[in-house]
Amino acid sequence: MAKVAFIGLGVMGYPMAGHLKQKGGHDVTVYNRTGAKAQKWAEQYGGGHAATPREAAKDCDFVFMCVGNDDDVRSVVYGDDGIFAGMKSGATLIDNTTASAELARELAETANERGFKFIDAPVSGGQAGAENGALTVMCGGDQADFDAAKPVIEAYAKMVGLMGPAGSGQLTKMMNQICIAGLVQGLSEAIAFGQNAGLDIEKVVSVISKGAAGSWQMENRHKTMNEGHYDHGFAVEWMRKDLGICLAEAKRNGSRLPVTALVDQFYAEVEAMGGKRWDTSSLLALLNRT
């Protein structure tokens, strides 16, 4: 059992922290910007809650965080009430936020200067993956630090892998989101085409999902897409944040992402339709717009 803190109790962090407590059996203290949510978590799972990130991180072996973006990460890490102000020497900060690789390298350098360890560890699998403890975790950091942290991370994961030095986890997550953007657009176009052709989408998918066209998106989203239901899963506004990170990194490393840039524009149109919080599969709604 380790002494653990978890910072950020959104739709992902709340169940992730719960798995660390219940499945992992760790001593968990949480912090959330809205204190009532941290108190609710503590009552539900039997852990502790703190008034500041610094207080939550005090004396912990591992400090996890899962917040919104680069600015949110900096707001809970730095400052008099931040995580770094409360961490003990030798403790490990694990960032599950999807953020920039640049920030990951910055945090790794600062942590090293202060006698801490750092792992960037963005996740994939969405809310369902978090609730079921079945996330894929892509890590960047030192091998020894990863080896020590992996058994703890596995409380909420089905797959945990070290991709390379600090920042590599975030870069891997960018590749993940680039793949998803193209897959969802392709699936949306296929379903729209099939609907216009008068085909039975369920019958079609039952066949093509078993061949080269098959994907997680097809298996898990075709039914709700065909029914026009988008009130679940990973929100469009979150995907646009992630794609913005991908496109910014592509400028830095000289990559060309024409399809990703186009799909990001399509998501902007979905937002303009009122779909900011719709699931990312709502690209089909844009194609079916009259």
Catalytic residue set: 173
| CA neighbor of 226 nearest in space, from 249, 257, 210, 203 | 203
- Say which amino acid occupies 131: E
| Angle made by CA atoms 154, 162, 10, in degrees to the nearest 5 | 50
Strands (E), the chain: 3-7, 27-31, 48-49, 62-65, 92-95, 117-120, 123-124, 135-140, 157-164
What is d(CA 196, CA 80) in angstroms, rounded to the nearest whole number? Answer: 59
CB 284 within 8 A of CB 191: yes
How far from the centroid of its chain's Cα atoms is residue 282's Cα?
Answer: 19
